[in-house]
Structure 1
Amino acid sequence: MFQRFTIFMQAYKLRNFSEVANTLFISQPTVSVQLKKLEEELHVTLFIRQGPKEVIPTEEADYLYRQLLNLRDEWDHVLEQLQHIKEKKEVCVIACSNTCATNYMPRIYRDLQDAFPNIIFELKQMNSDDVMKQMEQHEAHIGLIEKPLMHETFRRFPIFEDELVLAGKKDAKQWLMREAESGIYYYNQRFLEEQNVYLPILKVNSNALIVELLKQGEGLTILSKDSLVPDIPYDEHYTYHRLFYCVTRTHPATSQINDLNAYIEQKYALKK
């Protein structure tokens, strides 16, 4: 059964039986046979075949995949208890949105490392939507985001308030705009509409690159005050405030991750 679940989870992610076979070092017919047997045992259809190789998951497959992710975490916890893993090092992946990664994570990382010496931390930087995807796919244990996103199996609490300012030279001839998925996009769009600003838009998918452009006098934008360097002018008459959030899983993979989640919430959650 474990083998069939493993094959199913790979098939769900890859949508291609040949790629599943290559990934698991088994034959493509074995993949098809094992998935067919799993469907027979569960009395459901898991995939709709699109040609000889490609497949589309059904609604039943969506449900099964989510449940298996949780079961995999619970199984990891069982192995931890049996083998006393908590006395050894374990990995915790923290996925951070771009501004959280550069402006906030460095402030708390040393404290987390000192408080949990048996955890090896891995930090990933991406936009908030991708952080949530990493959490949903169980590729990250903790998420730091700059948008109030939520999921039914997550816990979310605010950990930091960020001040956004109008940055750049007032006579700039273009507006620097992050991609729509970025947490900062909404505030830039809101400012343009509220102030009736009509400048050519330069799309930039990196805060670091925006900062470099601002240093050269290229453009205006709404950006976190903490992202600015001393030689970038800004106007505090136009400010917005937003919250950064920590997202944790309601059923952590291990007891150490559970303790870490509780520590972060107790020490860093903003008081209401």
Structure 2
Amino acid sequence: MFTYLEAFRLVYETRSFSAAATQLFVTQPTVSHQIKQLEAQLQVKLFDRRGNREVRPTAAAKILYAESTKLLTDWHRTERKLTAVTQQKTLALTIGASQTTALTLLPTLLPALKAQFPQAALRVKMANSEQVLKELKAHQIQFGLIEKPVTADDVERISLAKDQLVCVGQPTGVWLTRERGSGTFQYTQNYLKEAGIIPQQLIEIDNLNLILSLVQQGMGQTVVSQRLVPTTLPFQPLGAHFERDFYLVYFKADILLNAELAAVGHQIQLILTD
């Protein structure tokens, strides 16, 4: 039963049988069979399939998700106690970070986490805020650090710190901006509109270090976190309404089901909260 409930939880959270199968290291038909068996035992339909990929939970699934999370929490707690008697398990921990949060927060966070959790196998994946959230929903990462206030069902979003955006660079008519989907891109669009600026050329670049390098060469201007402005470059503050938050995001159920992840999440907040 617990195997079926774990498969159900992952299908519910990812809205995908194939993504759930990937997380469980089994085939998609195996997950489909487990869900059918669970539906047969409970005598309810849990998911509606629309087309080849779209999966929607039924009203019964929403009830089962809430209740089964409590059951799985107790079961995983029991498993951890039994495992602790015989062996020490390595904690696999993948953190997704937007480029701005990676450059500003991770140099402080990673050494502190390694000191607190020496048994953890740490991995970092960098992407824009929307992609970080997408990977979290697909269970490719356990925690995300973003600056765009995006969220999703059953995902917790916690504000960690404030970040002031500034304008930096030479007014050549060229504006260098992050790609669509990043938190900074939307703020750049807002600033250009508010200031009545029509760029002669707007160049989207999905690498923040490259943007800063080009600005230092005098190619143009950009909107960037004040924390990342090189000391050699003057900058123009954009005002209080261009102050944003850095956020920690994670699945609520993951924290409930895994005491080690809960401890990691708590430490991340302690380390990074202003």
**Deviates most, 257-266 or 150-159:** 150-159
> In 2 relative to 1, CA 32–222 (structure 1 residues): closer, same or farther, beyond 3 Å?
closer
Partner-residue secondary structure (3-state), 1:57: strand
Counterpart of 2:174 in structure 1: which amino acid? Q
Superposed displacement of residue 173, structure 1: 2.5
> In 2 relative to 1, CA 207–148 (structure 1 residues): closer, same or farther, beyond 3 Å?
same
In the alignment, the residues of structure 2 paired with residue 87 and residue 187 of structure 1 have an alpha-carbon distance, to the nearest angstrom, of: 46
Superposed displacement of residue 33, structure 1: 6.5
Gapped regions of structure 1 (runs ≥ 5) = none
Q: Contact (CA 8 Å) 2:93, 2:123: kept in 1 or not? A: yes
Partner-residue secondary structure (3-state), 2:92: strand
Gapped regions of structure 2 (runs ≥ 5) = none
> In 2 relative to 1, CA 146–61 (structure 1 residues): closer, same or farther, beyond 3 Å?
same
> In 2 relative to 1, CA 121–15 (structure 1 residues): closer, same or farther, beyond 3 Å?
closer
> In 2 relative to 1, CA 5–174 (structure 1 residues): closer, same or farther, beyond 3 Å?
same
Q: Contact (CA 8 Å) 1:165, 1:234: kept in 2 or not? A: no
Provide Cα deviations, 1:159-196, integer angstroms capped at 9, x if missing partner: 222222111112x1221122231111222112111111
> In 2 relative to 1, CA 56–159 (structure 1 residues): closer, same or farther, beyond 3 Å?
closer
Q: Contact (CA 8 Å) 1:154, 1:247: kept in 2 or not? A: yes
Report 1:60-139 matches (<5 A).
Answer: 60=58, 63=61, 67=65, 70=69, 74=73, 76-84=76-84, 87-139=88-140
> In 2 relative to 1, CA 174–121 (structure 1 residues): closer, same or farther, beyond 3 Å?
same
Superposed displacement of residue 100, structure 1: 0.4
In the alignment, the residues of structure 2 paired with residue 221 and residue 191 of structure 1 have an alpha-carbon distance, to the nearest angstrom, of: 10
Partner-residue secondary structure (3-state), 1:179: coil
User: Which residue does 1:58 correspond to in 2?
Assistant: 56
User: Which residue does 1:44 correspond to in 2?
Assistant: 45
Superposed displacement of residue 146, structure 1: 0.6
In the alignment, the residues of structure 1 paired with residue 57 and residue 209 of structure 2 have an alpha-carbon distance, to the nearest angstrom, of: 41
In the alignment, the residues of structure 2 paired with residue 267 and residue 121 of structure 1 have an alpha-carbon distance, to the nearest angstrom, of: 16
Q: Contact (CA 8 Å) 2:17, 2:31: kept in 1 or not? A: no
Report percent identity of matched pairs: 24
Structure 2 residue 184 is matched with structure 1 residue 184: yes
Counterpart of 1:241 in structure 2: which amino acid? E
In the alignment, the residues of structure 2 paired with residue 265 and residue 45 of structure 1 have an alpha-carbon distance, to the nearest angstrom, of: 35
Superposed displacement of residue 34, structure 1: 6.4
Report 1:149-228 matches (<5 A).
Answer: 149-151=150-152, 153-170=154-171, 172-199=172-199, 200-228=201-229
Q: Contact (CA 8 Å) 1:89, 1:118: kept in 2 or not? A: yes
- The equivalent position to 1:245 in structure 2, one of 241, 244, 247, is 247
Counterpart of 1:57 in structure 2: which amino acid? V
In the alignment, the residues of structure 2 paired with residue 12 and residue 124 of structure 1 have an alpha-carbon distance, to the nearest angstrom, of: 22
Partner-residue secondary structure (3-state), 2:179: coil
**Deviates most, 124-133 or 37-46:** 37-46
Provide Cα deviations, 1:206-232, integer angstroms capped at 9, x if missing partner: 21221232133222111112333345x
Superposed displacement of residue 70, structure 1: 4.9
TM-score when normalising by structure 2: 0.75
User: Which residue does 1:13 correspond to in 2?
Assistant: 16
Superposed displacement of residue 136, structure 1: 2.8
Counterpart of 2:181 in structure 1: which amino acid? E
> In 2 relative to 1, CA 164–260 (structure 1 residues): closer, same or farther, beyond 3 Å?
same
Partner-residue secondary structure (3-state), 1:140: coil
In the alignment, the residues of structure 2 paired with residue 129 and residue 163 of structure 1 have an alpha-carbon distance, to the nearest angstrom, of: 20
